[in-house]
Each structure stands twice: as C-alpha cells, then as structure tokens.
C-alpha cells in the first residue's frame, strides 16, 4: 500500500511542478454570500462566532481549564498537542494527569483520543474554523481523533465568508470546519463524527 501511495504522490507532484501559478479564484458577487444581518452591519466578532459555532454543535471555549474539565469528563486521557502550544495548553493538561504527545505518530492513530492544533482563523458569520497546512503542523491530528481542538491566539476573526476568501493566502491546503463532521445519507438521519471528529472545539487564548 505504501509503495502504491508513493507512486501516486510522485505523479501528483510531477503534474503540479509544471504549474507556474495558482488558478485564480472565480469571480462572484460577494453580496449573495453574506447573510442579511451582516449586510445590515450587525457583526459580532468572537461572540457571534461562538453563537454560530455552537449552533452547529461546536464548542467555543476561552479557558484551558474548561477544556481540561471536558476532556476528563469524557474520558479523553491521551492525545496530541501542537508543540507550539505546549506551554499554554499541553503542560496544563499534563499537570492534571492527561498523557500529551507532541509528535503525531501515524502508526498510533487509534491511540489519540484528542488532537490539539493551531487554527488560522475563524469566520463569525458561519461559525467556521479555518485550518491550513502552514499553521496546522499535522493535518491528520486535526482530522482523525474523536475530539479536535482548534486553538486561536492572535489569528484573525473574519466577519464574513467573502472576507475569509479574500484572505486564503498561498497555502496549498485550506480546510473550513463548521462543527463536527456530519452526514444524513442514511434515511435522512443526522449522524455526527462519521468522516472526521465527532467533537469540534475552538479554544480562544488571549
């Protein structure tokens, strides 16, 4: 399997190496992407984000202590933490008895019950967390554990979706996360946590 994957990835890299520049984004009318109250000027930064994030089953937090309580109550005692967050997050969790790893070992993917990574920003209008490969050290750490914690410190709070689009940057991979993964493919029954984390947390550190 590894050999086949390497072959495919080599072919992809070769195909992309000939591209001189990224394909420009399509033109669109930004007004049609903004919900009515935002067009009327009612924006609310983190508070608005938190309300919309909670509406899609996300959990907005502002204290590491809140995160610790949640992880312990849910029995999530071992997970990964981005090394850059060790001082402000990882050490606090370790001192309270949780097992925290600072290197994501892909062959131990089933051992991590939570993954703590950096986010690149959030979108207030839709309650969306923005992740990209420059800020998220290991993409799998944000997608595989049952609990994903996206941390923002000085990252921007985009008020609207068009504003976030304008600030995509040059990352080769950008993911927008609006709550935990969901599907209603089977008989219209909504199930969370099928294609990714079942619990999506956003922790804002001042």
Whether residue 100 contacts residue 81, with contact meaning beta carbons closer than 8 Å, is answered with yes
Q: Residue 52: is its pLDDT beyond 70?
A: yes
- Note the pLDDT tens digit of each residue in 151-204: 999 999 999 888 998 898 888 889 999 988 888 877 788 887 778 899 999 999
Residue spans per domain, the chain: 45-204
Q: Residue 101: is its pLDDT beyond 90?
A: yes
> Both tokens of residue 184?
């209603």
pTM of the model: 0.83
**CB neighbours (10 Å) of residue 73?**
8
The pLDDT, as a whole number, for residue 11 is 87
What is the pLDDT of the chain when averaged over all its residues? 89
* pLDDT-based confidence at residue 40 (cuts at 50, 70, 90): low
Coil, strand or helix at 86 = helix
* pLDDT-based confidence at residue 43 (cuts at 50, 70, 90): low
* pLDDT-based confidence at residue 31 (cuts at 50, 70, 90): confident
**CB neighbours (10 Å) of residue 126?**
20
> Both tokens of residue 134?
């420059």
More confident residue, 204 or 41: 204
CATH class entry, domain 45-204: alpha beta
- Note the pLDDT tens digit of each residue in 54-72: 999 999 999 999 999 999 9
Q: What is the DSSP letter of 23?
A: P
Q: Among all chains, which residue has been given the structure tokens 């949640």?
A: 70
The pLDDT, as a whole number, for residue 38 is 65
The pLDDT, as a whole number, for residue 80 is 97
Q: Residue 42: is its pLDDT beyond 70?
A: no
- Note the pLDDT tens digit of each residue in 83-98: 999 999 999 999 999 9
* 197 phi, psi to nearest 5 deg: -55, 145
């Amino acid at each position: 399997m590894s050999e086949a994957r390497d072959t495919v990835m080599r072919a992809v890299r070769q195909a992309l190496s000939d591209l001189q520049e990224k394909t420009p984004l399509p033109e669109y009318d930004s007004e049609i992407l903004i919900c009515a109250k935002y067009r009327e000027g009612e924006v609310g930064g983190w508070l608005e984000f938190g309300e919309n994030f909670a509406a899609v089953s996300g959990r907005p937090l502002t204290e590491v202590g809140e995160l610790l309580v949640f992880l312990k109550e849910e029995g999530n005692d071992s997970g990964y933490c981005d090394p850059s967050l060790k001082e402000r997050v990882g050490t606090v969790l370790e001192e309270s008895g949780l097992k925290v790893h600072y290197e994501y070992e892909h062959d131990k993917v089933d051992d991590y019950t939570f993954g703590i990574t950096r986010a690149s920003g959030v979108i207030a209008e839709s309650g969306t967390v923005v992740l990209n490969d420059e800020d998220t050290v290991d993409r799998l750490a944000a997608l595989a554990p049952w609990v994903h914690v996206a941390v923002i410190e000085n990252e921007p709070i985009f008020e609207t979706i068009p504003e976030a689009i304008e600030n995509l940057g040059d990352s080769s991979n950008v993911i927008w996360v609006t709550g935990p993964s969901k599907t209603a493919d089977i008989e219209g029954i909504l199930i969370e946590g099928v294609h990714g984390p079942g619990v999506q947390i956003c922790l804002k550190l001042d």
